[in-house]
Structure 1
Amino acid sequence: MNSRKLVNFLFKTLIIGGIAGLAISFFVEADVYAVNLSPFNFMEIIGLIIFNIGLGFTFSALSMTGFFAYLFINRFGFSFFRSFWPAVQVLLIAFILFDLIYFPYQAADGNTSIIWFVLMAAILFVYGLIIARIKAKETNKRAFIPALFLMVVMTAIEWVPGLQTDGLDYAWLMIAPLLACNTYQLLALHRVTKVDEKKKMESTKKKKTPTSAKKVGASKA
């Protein structure tokens, strides 16, 4: 991946996060928008839109940091654990899903039913399964567990600041851009690098062609 494609990749991730942040704010902060729509307050509405897009940009940057950390962790884990790395990832996924239920429930002091936290972890896991299946279908079967690891473990780690706040509003505002950005990065990376591989093959063929032509000419002589 050259610098131009990398910048394009990061820019698209940033835009996706901003759009996702704005879209989820219409649901999470519906009452705030409603107050400024009746009577209509143009400046406040614009301020809310800019703020939520900026918030989405911030979470996009967090997602990009987590994604490149995931690439390093995946490479390091494979070199360290070898054939046991997929099993280690599965254990980490199970551990993180348990943490997503237990610790937020304990922090809520019984004010929120545990069912909501179980549902939250289940939705994240099911969504991760869907995206991991798509990734495996577009690349190879071995990509399934690493993709699921990114969508569950890395997303949950990036989501920690949102889970530590009072109430669920900030958590929802945070999870939508994170999932959108992680999904895009995961499904777009192999497409970007695949183009590079094709160009390398074409350039290699071009380099080999003159050499082979020379050999043919020499043999005729």
Structure 2
Amino acid sequence: MTLRKWFYLFWTTLLVGAGAAVITGLILQLGDQEIQLGGKEIGFSAATMLLGGATISVLSQMGFFAYLIFRYIAMGMIRNKWTWNMLQGLVILIVMFDLIYLRYSGSSVEEGWAVYLILPIFVLVAGVAVAWWKVRLTNAGSWMPTLFFMIAVTAIEAVPSLRLNNAPSTVFMMVPLMACNAWQILILSKVVNTNKEP
């Protein structure tokens, strides 16, 4: 990857994150006038949403490059592709369980556990859709790495909003994060001019 290609990936991801955050923030604002994503001191504005989205996109990019480095090292240690795919699948199952159980057990509000299924289902559906699209763009070998990135890595990146246990904050972070992660994983093969898996 050249510096010019990295700049392209960086700035386009920044635009995707900022745009997704502004759209998500405006929809949240229209849905509930009480939502103050920027805090009462800062106020709710498009500039705050734009900066929040840009920050989320940078977090997404750090997670993406960390994933690529981790994958490169792991594939050097685990030579068997089937074993590596099974390990990724196991981590995906653990993450999906944790997205439900840890959030439910850490909640002080007395709600049913079914409410905590919404986020994991959203992440799973988005992950499957992006993985399917990635397979169409490249090859069948990209299914599991893309699914792993879209579910496990996104969940790790979203920890700051998940700890708040606040639905608007989680939505405001998850939508731009998923958009940025999807953009990066889908555009990677075009940027580096290859049809290989990510």
Q: Within 5 Å, which residues of 2 pair with 1:80-91?
A: 80-83=77-80, 84-91=83-90
- Partners in 2 of 1:107 and 1:159 — Cα distance? 16
Letter of the aligned partner of 2:25 in structure 1? S
Evaluate the alpha carbon distance shift between residue 51 and residue 110 of structure 1 in structure 2; reply closer, same or farther with a 3 A threshold.
closer
Aligned-pair identity in percent equals 31
Q: Which residue of 2 aligns with 1:19?
A: 19
Deviation at 1:119, TM superposition (A): 2.4
Letter of the aligned partner of 1:190 in structure 2? S
Show structure 1 runs of 4+ deviating over 3 A.
31-34
Deviation at 1:127, TM superposition (A): 1.2
User: Does structure 1 retain, via aligned residues, the 8 Å contact 2:132–2:143?
Assistant: yes
Deviation readout 1:18-70 (Å, 9 max, x if unpaired):
00001111122234499xxxxxxxxx99x600000100000000000000011
Q: Which residue of 2 aligns with 1:170?
A: 169
User: Does structure 2 retain, via aligned residues, the 8 Å contact 1:21–1:55?
Assistant: yes
Q: Which residue of 1 aligns with 2:38?
A: none
RMSD of equivalent CA atoms: 2.0
- Partners in 2 of 1:21 and 1:142 — Cα distance? 32
- Higher helix fraction (1 or 2): 1
Give aligned pairs, total: 186
Q: TM-score, structure 1 length as denominator?
A: 0.79
Letter of the aligned partner of 2:29 in structure 1? E
User: Does structure 1 retain, via aligned residues, the 8 Å contact 2:103–2:165?
Assistant: no
Q: Which residue of 2 aligns with 1:8?
A: 8
Q: Which residue of 2 aligns with 1:124?
A: 123
Letter of the aligned partner of 2:149 in structure 1? L
- Partners in 1 of 2:20 and 2:74 — Cα distance? 31
Letter of the aligned partner of 2:92 in structure 1? I
Q: TM-score, structure 2 length as denominator?
A: 0.88
Consecutive unaligned residues of structure 2, counting only runs of 5 or more, are 36-41
